[in-house]
Copies of this chain bind each other. A is one copy, B any other.
Amino acid sequence: MFILNNNDPVPLYKQLYQQIRERVLSGQLVADARLPSVRVLANELAISRNTVDGAYQELFAEGYIYSRPHSGYYVSAHCHDATPFPPNLAPYRQKQLPELQQHFQYDFHPARLAPESFPAILWRKCFNSMLLEYRQVLSAYSDPQGEQELRSHIQRYLESSRGVLCQAEQIVICAGLQQSLDIVAHLLRTSHASVAVENPGYHLPRAVFRNHGYELVPVKVGPDGMDMTALKATSSTIAYVTPSHQLPLGYVMPVAQRLSLIDWAETGGRYILEDDYDSELRYQGKPVPSLQGLRPGGNIIYLGSFSKVLSPALRISYLVLPKGLLADYKRLFRDYFSTVPLPEQLTLAKFMSLGHWERHIRRMRTLYKKKHDALIACIESCFGSRAKITGQGAGLHVVVQFPGVALDEAGFIAKAGQHGIRLFPFSSFRVSGEPDPLQIMLGFGGMTIAEIEQGVELLSRIFHDRL
């Protein structure tokens, strides 16, 4: 009846369990059929009673068989209409090959950081000492809003470096911008339905708010930031902006526009989402203070991130909520857990407490300033007056326009690709997604200065049709 194999690494009781189970599921053993007694089957198969009993106990626990007192085990009804594990597991075991990624010698992707920039040795030290100190904490859940210690460090940093005025209780530690925005989308959905977004602007907020069912209203961006007249003409009650360094154009929103935006929010119960994503990286003068600091009690939700300066791999961001939203936040998310690992939070808190964070910012500013300056110099020497640069002086990319020249974006990117150059399409920042005939984006964070120089030189030869 059953074939058991002593040489099989699968224990005998499990082999027996599996074979009975398959017969029940396939209908070979019909409902209410009586199974042989433990003693009889053990004798028949020349195995111990414990083995048979083990198999029966499993089948019983999972409901394949039932027992009648003083009578034995019977096959349960309704068990024979499902396919058991498919006998051939091959399609499930099929090894998936990682997507073939073209390697580019010159990668101008704007989200790349310098590969050597992560402070691995310091981070490891902080991690290891945290682990010694907090070992027992790793068996526990963290504060749903993020560890108090980390929030306090972020609060002090934001106050001294970004002019953001808040208390640690207003800060929520999140796993990256999209999760910060997810919380905002949940918080505002009952009384808000439409979000004004910068155009051109970052695609991620559009994706998050679209997934939450919000209407998205693109508003033109110019050197003064989001066009306030256009914004006021919309019925949007939320405005997502990047005032310190507009993504992608790099403009700084002047204070008059900031105040006008604050007024717009305050007079109508509206909200400003201030994304201060790479504000630490300013190469001329000091960082531009936050909009939040102009009106700390206002309807401004401040969004910050460790992705641009420390590491995008760590997935740590934060949200500063106005005090008026704290009660709603606690009501909606009181049952939630933090999404950011406790070891990471405590490691980062230690990293900040030892002053590494501020030193790291300064180091990154120096590192990227050199790359930035080399890129600007190269563009000027290769393109001269044909190129107009915007967004320089900050961040990890610049935008280059060629006045009077209409580039075929896809064609230019493809041709660059043939010469080992990766360009990120500017069109992905446009809400319509249409190709942009006027501008290209050059990210410099992940490149060496030599690569920047050679890459720009190659690009100018392609541009001037000499390749």
CB proximity of A77 to chain B, nearest CB, Å: 6
Q: Does A63 contact B (CB under 8 A)?
A: yes
Tell me the nearest residue of chain B to A254, going by C-beta. B63
At the interface with chain B, which of A113-121, A407-415, A416-424? A113-121
Flag A259-290 by CB within 8 Å of B: 1 or 0 each: 11011000000000000000000001110110
Assess the B115–A136 pair: CB atoms within 8 A: yes
Complex partner residue of A169 from B79, B96, B286, B338, CB under 8 angstroms: B96
CB proximity of A126 to chain B, nearest CB, Å: 12
Assess the B139–A112 pair: CB atoms within 8 A: yes
Interchain CA distance A148-B98 in the complex, whole Å? 7
Assess the A260–B78 pair: CB atoms within 8 A: yes
Q: Does A54 contact B (CB under 8 A)?
A: yes
Complex partner residue of A342 from B77, B313, B340, CB under 8 angstroms: B313
Query: Assuming A255-B79, A313-B343, A339-B175, is B139 touching A117 (CB within 8 A)?
Result: yes
Task: Please name all residues of chain B whose beta carbon is closer than 8 Å to the beta carbon of A165 when the two chains form the complex.
Answer: 85-86, 89, 92
Tell me the nearest residue of chain B to A94, going by C-beta. B167
Complex partner residue of A131 from B84, B95, B115, B124, CB under 8 angstroms: B124
8 nearest A-B pairs in the assembled complex, by CB-CB distance: A63-B254, A313-B342, A175-B339, A207-B335, A78-B256, A113-B139, A115-B136, A118-B138
Listed A/B pairs (22) with beta-carbon separation below 8 Å: A57-B284, A58-B285, A62-B255, A63-B258, A81-B263, A89-B165, A92-B159, A92-B165, A94-B167, A98-B148, A113-B139, A115-B136, A118-B138, A137-B313, A138-B314, A139-B312, A141-B312, A142-B313, A189-B213, A207-B332, A312-B337, A315-B341
Interface on A for B, CB 8 Å cutoff?
A: 14, 24, 54, 57-58, 61-64, 76-79, 81-86, 89, 91-96, 98, 111-118, 120, 123-124, 127-128, 131, 135-142, 148, 152, 159, 163, 165-169, 175-176, 178-179, 182, 186, 189, 203-204, 206-208, 211, 213, 224, 252-260, 262-263, 284-286, 288-289, 293-296, 311-316, 332-344, 446
